[in-house]
Amino acid sequence: MKCILTVIGKDKPGIIASVSNLLASNNVNIEDISQTIMQSTFTMIMLVNIANSPLSMKELREQLKALGEEIGVSIHLQHEEVFDAMHKV
């Protein structure tokens, strides 16, 4: 299952590493990634595939939320189809 993962927060070292390590340790494949810094705000969008993860989407979402709180960013995980439907013009 493909999902969209977004990360937003104040820029600091280690954000990409922390998120990527959590994903890798749960066998989540990063299929595409875009990140930028707008002034001092870090923004990242990832297309991830969670099909091989031992975690459910809910469990992964909870781990990502906890990581976000730990490193001071907002992390959201949505099913790709929900994300697409929300952003259709």
* In the chain, where the domains are located: 2-86
Structure-token pair, residue 58: 């809910």
Supply the pTM of this predicted model: 0.88
From the list 56, 49, 59, 57, the residue with the least C-alpha distance to 24 is: 49
Say yes or no to pLDDT of 82 above 70.
no
Q: Which fold has domain 2-86?
A: Alpha-Beta Plaits (3.30.70)
Backbone angles phi, psi at 13, to 5 degrees: -65, 145
Cβ proximity of 71 and 22 under 8 Å: no
Q: What is the pLDDT of residues 10-65, one digit of tens each?
A: 999 999 999 999 999 999 999 999 999 999 999 999 999 999 999 999 999 999 99
